[in-house]
Amino acid sequence: MRLKTRITELLGIEHPVVMGGLTFYGRAELASAVSNAGALGMLTALTAGSPEGLSREIARCRDMTDKPFGVNLTLLPTINPIPYDEYRDAIIEGGVVAVETAGRAPTDHLPQLKGAGIKVIHKCASVRHAVSAEKMGVDVISIDGFECAGHPGEDDVGGLVLIPATADRIRIPMIASGGFGDGRGLAAALMLGAEGINMGTRFCATQEAPAHPDIKRLYVDKDERDTNLIFRRLRNTARVMKTSVSDEVVERLAHPDATFADVAELVAGTRGRQALVDGNADGGIIWAGQVMGLIHDLPKCDALVGRIVRDACDLMRRCPVVE
């Protein structure tokens, strides 16, 4: 059972489902499992730790799958400079199918990536940014609704409006992101004008996800109300799992004079990664979206993707006939 869209044709995948670029999770074990399921697995460049580490991770993933997979390259200002050019070169040398860029515009990397035949998917959280990215020359827009984990932007527009609003303004293929985890979501995204879906949190709740079992169980036990929006007053809103740590971040930043320095030790990436390894939900920040309200099991990736596509096809077949 297949759903053929411009996304499946462009990326050479069986199903119009893409794995989000996930910090910590975006390694060969999960990316290869997603690709083997007929979707597009995604390694996360910065999770590899270095350009050399990314080259090794690409090689590991290629050993685990003969299907297409991609790499997420998040472009953000940092205190310590990141060798983005070297990461880009490792991606090109690795011969991956696609790159998902996020953060700032990938203008300075587009010529090299596209010259190597790599499709560029750019993640946006607003219509205006999607329009700009299309003009810039990216191949695919991944549009993030307010429901998503990570950074949903500052406009607070949910997918039900954001997806069709973006479809009205761009011509290149679009992937819908934020709140997707089952066949109903895939069918709805296609009806709203997208040509595939991007799933992050849902793939974190799978057998192949490389986190502690106690962390994965949280995605099942919690629901759509169990997220916090942090960094709002800093104009860098992020949606994370509701825990004692994220509650503390929200409380500290509620103070009128609060700055990032007041929460830096709570949100440190090293602390969050250790929490995922140890299974300690209160050890650090854990990224999660409102789709937790739709997660009820911890399947293997092939079972999950197959179920989503099958259910979406069944739903669309049952649509009432207009006479």
| Structure token pair of residue 50 | 């270095």
pTM as predicted: 0.94
Domain with 236 in it: 227-287
Tell me the pLDDT of the chain (323 aa) as tens digits. 789 999 999 999 999 999 999 999 999 999 999 999 999 999 999 999 999 999 999 999 999 999 999 999 999 877 678 999 999 999 999 999 999 999 999 999 999 999 999 999 999 999 999 999 999 999 999 999 999 999 999 999 999 999 999 999 999 999 999 999 999 999 999 999 999 999 999 999 999 999 999 999 999 999 999 999 999 989 899 999 999 999 999 999 999 999 999 999 999 989 999 999 999 999 999 999 999 999 999 999 999 999 999 999 999 988 776 66
Classify strands 174-177 and 197-199 as parallel, antiparallel or unpaired: parallel
43 and 74: one domain? yes
167 and 307: one domain? yes
259 and 166: one domain? no
Rama region for 137: left / alpha / beta (φ>0; ψ in -120 to 50; rest): left
Instruction: Tell me the residue length of the chain.
Output: 323
Nearest to 94 by CA among 139, 59, 119: 59
- 17-19 β-sheet, strand order: 17-19, 197-199, 174-177, 140-144, 119-124, 98-103, 69-75, 41-44
Does 312 reside within a domain?
Answer: yes
Phi first, then psi: what are they for 197, rounded to 5°?
-125, 155
43 and 188: one domain? yes
Does 85 reside within a domain?
Answer: yes
Alpha-carbon distance of 314 to 1, in angstroms, equals 10
CA distances from 28 to 21, 70, 162, 167, 244 (A): 12, 11, 32, 32, 31
Does 201 reside within a domain?
Answer: yes
11 and 66: one domain? yes
Residue 281 · residue 299 · CB < 8 Å: no
Count CB neighbours of 92 within 10 A. Answer: 17
51 and 149: one domain? yes
Residue the block writes with tokens 């990436």: 269
Alpha-carbon distance of 212 to 195, in angstroms, equals 33
First-to-last alpha carbon distance for the chain, in angstroms, is 27
183 and 201: one domain? yes
